[in-house]
A and B are shown apart, each in its own frame.
Chain A
């Protein structure tokens, strides 16, 4: 099992933003976290990234209990990476942004260059190596952020609403990249979204959150349509 959460609570002041008696996530899958604003999706994602400590309860990662007091939390952080909804680019070039996690991991200069070129090609941003990262559009920033996350060679990538503020072209590109990351690089993917269609298209499993709790979802009608009789009397479904 990739993650197991037991009796997990996160409380800010007097507000309980997460209250999860039990949640488990299998490795190697694409998991969607669905829920309205304020459901606790981002908070849960930050728990998965070991950036936020639960107020109470346990987080288990690959069969080992996560201890935020322990110095080894940084080692865990290097195995999981989060791509935020509005990713932050450091105010240097695209190349330097991608180089940051590689430098931290003490990758040789020659290998760094090779990895950067490969990743920029993967996200379709090959010509942007020397561009100033903070001058990119929303969709381009998102793609560079994905490349930078992949430079970490993570076991898990967490996306916080990866296509929330991008155009259709970038949305298609990002969805393709997410599939490739999962299928070709065998990286587990967890992402939050409001878009049920997207969740249905991309995920192996969907977790519904509502007001910080797991919500049971019946089969959702994500398309609207009517059942109409056909020319020979057989029924057919007319969408829209």
Chain B
């Protein structure tokens, strides 16, 4: 117990001193996770909207497949993407392996199903009368879609925040596709895993505190936005 408390105390000192290694690891994490969340949102929200809004053959099967992909292990994605971007893979010439871009690709694959499925769920719950109201007020298809997405904004925002939480906390993809290269692809989680392997807990605990603080900050921000809109 004393050992944990010592680590915690040293971690706080490390945070207080704004350790450059810590700053680098945190900034790589934030950069990669933000990029993948933005890209996945740009794909997942419109796709989720179209799936929810349109009737087409195989719709239920597609939703079932997407639901299944929610449980996709990060190491499976890591292996899958590795097969494509390694030197022997068909995208090997792009030299993506062990880069931040490779990590973003893997993380996008991880969270697109999450954002899509939760967008489908959010849009499906919106009363049909919103669509009819927008249409009778003269909205075209795009304006009607915007009204519906706006009404579902909190649920969609929750999906985006949950997805960001998922990618910033994952290890498998970052380790397999990023390679944990110091200063380039080392993220908070891969650094924590490395520190654990080395038996050095101080940086690991400090990163854990940062990770939790980011998650806490995001939730406060989300609650603030929700609260403002409902007053």
Interface residues of A (CB under 8 A from B): 46, 49, 51, 74, 77-78, 80-82, 84, 86-88, 90-91, 100-101, 104-105, 132, 148-149, 152
Can you name the residue of chain B whose Cβ is closest to the Cβ of A75? B138
**Would you call B151 an interface residue if the criterion is a C-beta within 8 Å of the partner chain's C-beta atoms?**
yes
Interface residues of B in 154-190 (CB under 8 A from A): none
Which of B130, B138, B139, B231 counts the most chain A CB atoms within 10 A? Answer: B138
Do B138 and A84 have beta carbons less than 8 Å apart? no
Q: With a CB–CB cut-off of 8 A, which chain A residues contact B132?
A: 46, 51, 82, 84, 88
Do A148 and B137 have beta carbons less than 8 Å apart? yes
Q: How many residues of B contact A (CB 8 A)?
A: 19
Contact of A87 among B133, B140, B143, B230 (CB under 8 A): B133
Do A101 and B130 have beta carbons less than 8 Å apart? no
10 A-B pairs with the lowest CB-CB distances in the bound complex, closest first: A78-B138, A101-B137, A88-B129, A88-B133, A104-B138, A82-B136, A81-B136, A88-B130, A49-B136, A101-B138
Q: With a CB–CB cut-off of 8 A, which chain B residues contact A91?
A: 150-151, 229
Q: With a CB–CB cut-off of 8 A, which chain B residues contact A101?
A: 137-138
A28 to chain B, nearest CB (A): 21
A110 to chain B, nearest CB (A): 20
Do A152 and B133 have beta carbons less than 8 Å apart? no
Q: With a CB–CB cut-off of 8 A, which chain B residues contact A77?
A: 135-136, 138
B66 to chain A, nearest CB (A): 27
Can you name the residue of chain B whose Cβ is closest to the Cβ of A145? B133
Q: With a CB–CB cut-off of 8 A, which chain A residues contact B133?
A: 84, 87-88, 90
**Would you call B127 an interface residue if the criterion is a C-beta within 8 Å of the partner chain's C-beta atoms?**
yes
Q: In the complex, A91→B133 CA distance in Å?
A: 13
Q: With a CB–CB cut-off of 8 A, which chain A residues contact B143?
A: 104
Q: In the complex, A77→B231 CA distance in Å?
A: 33
Which of B130, B135, B147, B150 counts the most chain A CB atoms within 10 A? Answer: B135
B53 to chain A, nearest CB (A): 16
Q: With a CB–CB cut-off of 8 A, which chain A residues contact B135?
A: 51, 77
